Amino acid sequence: MIDFPEVIDIPLAKLVDTIMDWLLSNLAGFFDAVGFLILQVVLFFEKIFLYVPWFVIILLVGLAGWKLIGKMRTGILFMILMFIIGTFGYWELAMRTLSLVIASVFFSLLVGLPTGIHMARSDRAQRILQPLLDAMQTMPSFVYLIPALMFFGMGKVPAMFATIIYAAPPVIRLTNVGIRTVDKEAVEAAKAFGATPNQILKDVQLPLAKPSIMVGINQTTMMALAMVVIGSMIGAKGLGMEVLLAINRIEVGRGFEAGISIVFLAIIIDRITHSLSVKK
């Protein structure tokens, strides 16, 4: 009576395995095409960051900190943080990590912004997507690696796939919330002047919802960066790989240098994206 009865069994694992087998058998070509597209985008950003000289990137980061945040000392701080990453010997790995983050954010926004807009326009879509977003955010990120490996094998692509699933929900949620909380009087005024739904979205709702949407982009970017260590477990090279190697070899100093480099990147990305959310 104490133990749960064994006869009551929901074969969810078998069902999921059956679905995965069907997808791999019937949609292999589709996943190959998606994997190729994702890889090309990652390589595009990677070539840019690795081709541009290190001092140019440092100057651009400092300029971004100064102009976007409005404080010269912030720009100087960003330049110092980027320079320190280089002194650790992790410049190339940091650029590879940055490429993965930017590419994953690009795809997350490509999926997330239209989805958030659709949720804001449809109560039914919101009811359907809300639990899916809850699952995407609360499911352990390691679980995403299993189907990613099955669909795309080892390397950058499965790491990107898992990162996109993990990082997309914030921008979807906050785009939905931002549009839904736009002043109804502003929307009604636009309708009174004969604006179409698309015009209302473009000229009224999106501009007024911009702060909320930009906060969503900020959170999506930070969650993508949080996946770099997990992505390294399936072959995504970058700072996360250094952390993983340090753990395997119990090299505390190496792990600290790689970890603090990730923190420096996170600080710079967070401050820059946050400044975009508060700008009028």
CA distances for 179 relative to 114, 130, 214, 277, angstroms: 12, 16, 12, 15
Is it the case that residue 222 has pLDDT exceeding 60?
Answer: yes
The pLDDT value given to residue 123: 86
pLDDT at 172: 92
CB 97 within 8 A of CB 160: no
> Does the pLDDT at position 13 exceed 60?
yes
Q: Is the pLDDT of residue 227 over 60?
A: yes
Percent of the chain past pLDDT 90, that is, above it, reads 9
Residue ranges and CATH numbers for the domains of the chain are 12-51+88-278 (1.10.3720.10)
pLDDT band at 71 (very low <50, low <70, confident <90, very high): confident
Alpha helices in 181-238 (DSSP H): 184-192, 197-200, 206-226, 228-232
Mean pLDDT score of the chain, rounded to an integer?
84
Given a cut of 70, whether residue 277 has pLDDT beyond it is no
The HSE-up count of residue 144 (CA atoms within 13 Å, CB side) is 22
Distance CA 180, CA 185 (A): 12
d(CA 205, CA 192): 15
Record the tokens describing residue 184, joined without a space: 């109804």
139 or 1: whose pLDDT is higher? Answer: 139
Mean per-residue pLDDT, 183-210:
82
Tell me: the pLDDT tens digits for 167-176?
889 999 999 9
Q: Quick one: pLDDT at residue 114?
A: 92
Q: Is 280's pLDDT higher than 60?
A: no
pLDDT of residue 59: 92
